[in-house]
Amino acid sequence: MRRLLAILIPGLLLLTACGGSPAAPEPTSQSAGDTAKFDSLKLTDNGDKKAPGVEFSKPLEVTEPTIKVVTEGDGDRVKENQVANISILALSGADGSTLEDTFPGEPEPLELNEELKTGSPVIYNAFVGSKVGSSLALAIPGQAATAAGAAAQPTQLLVIKVLSTKDVPPSVPPLAKPEGETVTPPAGLPTVKDNDKGIPEISVDGAPAPTALVAQDLIKGTGAAVKETDTLTVNYVGVNLVGGTKFDSSFDRGEPASFPLTGVIPGWTQGLAGKTVGSRVLLVVPKDLAYGDAGQGEAKGDLVFVVDILGVK
């Protein structure tokens, strides 16, 4: 589902949509679009971890994003700045065939934050004020065939169930640089020194090929521990262990990078989980936990990184 929303929500930003006014202090879910298209929609509850049965008149076609609560739950109302844990059944509006079903898996989080409110008010305003246990219908307009040869795509119907919510603690701004206690690493690892601009530089002279992942603190931060599910804000530099060629550096770009820890090479996911905000970490990553024998661009074989963990969310 995370992949599905990542595809669909940016697409909604490009479409004209008639959402309601900004959420009031005690809002109710706001429908948007031609909701009469959902008049024939009927849902049948099939129990936990199972998608509902869905009936609707076909083909379902909309020209603008259309969303409404079709069955109301009896739980608490969903509030702004909460995370709604949801499951999604995606269907073709043309024939009702299943495109994706996340109900059997674990619920996926949808953060009802300012970014979503600004970027996709149609979705934000429908979720905020709905009740836990509700099912929402979201119809995404299809796409016409293009001259480049891309086939026409039908309207998609998403049936989304709100399973639970949780509050999100206030976000903490990322650090400007690592903060904590300096740690002396053991001998035999690549060495790291700051240049005159305060940017770490890595020397691989004499460092042997790793037999396992190395995740060595150079500065031990005092902030929150990193979880594999976190999104990190970091500065980093990466070099090849053989030859020491630098292949990537956020320092060179002049700004930190942010990414989900689940979306990077396994050496980063495994090596940074459990580390703390404020830390500077030396990662020596065997190629099988990086990009394999083929490499990626200039990153080839065993890799070495210095990663400053500046923030998590």
Determine the Cα–Cα distance for residues 5 and 10; give it in Å rounded to an integer: 8
Do 130 and 222 fall within a single domain? no
Assign 17 a pLDDT band (cuts: 50, 70, 90): very low
255-284 average pLDDT score: 95
Phi/psi at 263 (nearest 5 deg)?
-110, 20
**Looking at the domain assignment, is residue 23 inside a domain?**
no
Please identify, among 133, 167, 201, the residue that sits at the C-terminal boundary of a domain.
Answer: 167
Do 195 and 295 fall within a single domain? yes
Do 137 and 189 fall within a single domain? no
CATH classification at residue 149: 3.10.50.40
**Looking at the domain assignment, is residue 12 inside a domain?**
no
Do 53 and 152 fall within a single domain? yes
**Looking at the domain assignment, is residue 117 inside a domain?**
yes
Please identify, among 167, 199, 232, the residue that sits at the C-terminal boundary of a domain.
Answer: 167
Residues 107, 133 contacting (CB under 8 angstroms)? no
The parent domain of residue 117 ranges over: 35-167
**Looking at the domain assignment, is residue 274 inside a domain?**
yes
pLDDT of residue 1: 38
Residue 62 has pLDDT above 70, yes or no: yes
**Looking at the domain assignment, is residue 11 inside a domain?**
no
Do 209 and 120 fall within a single domain? no
**Looking at the domain assignment, is residue 108 inside a domain?**
yes
Residue 15 has pLDDT above 60, yes or no: no
- Structure confidence by residue, pLDDT tens digits, 136-195: 999 999 876 555 566 778 999 999 999 999 997 777 899 999 999 999 999 999 999 999
Question: What percent of the chain has pLDDT above 70?
Answer: 89
Do 234 and 288 fall within a single domain? yes
Do 185 and 308 fall within a single domain? yes
Residue 270 has pLDDT above 90, yes or no: yes
pLDDT of residue 143: 78
Do 135 and 221 fall within a single domain? no
Mean predicted lDDT score pLDDT of the chain: 89
Do 155 and 50 fall within a single domain? yes
Do 135 and 192 fall within a single domain? no
Do 192 and 282 fall within a single domain? yes
Do 187 and 119 fall within a single domain? no
- Structure confidence by residue, pLDDT tens digits, 77-129: 999 989 999 999 999 999 999 999 999 999 999 989 888 888 889 999 999 99
**Looking at the domain assignment, is residue 22 inside a domain?**
no
**Looking at the domain assignment, is residue 216 inside a domain?**
yes
Please identify, among 167, 192, 223, the residue that sits at the C-terminal boundary of a domain.
Answer: 167
Domain count, the chain: 2
242-268 average pLDDT score: 94
250-263 average pLDDT score: 92
Whole-structure pTM over 0.85, yes or no? Answer: no
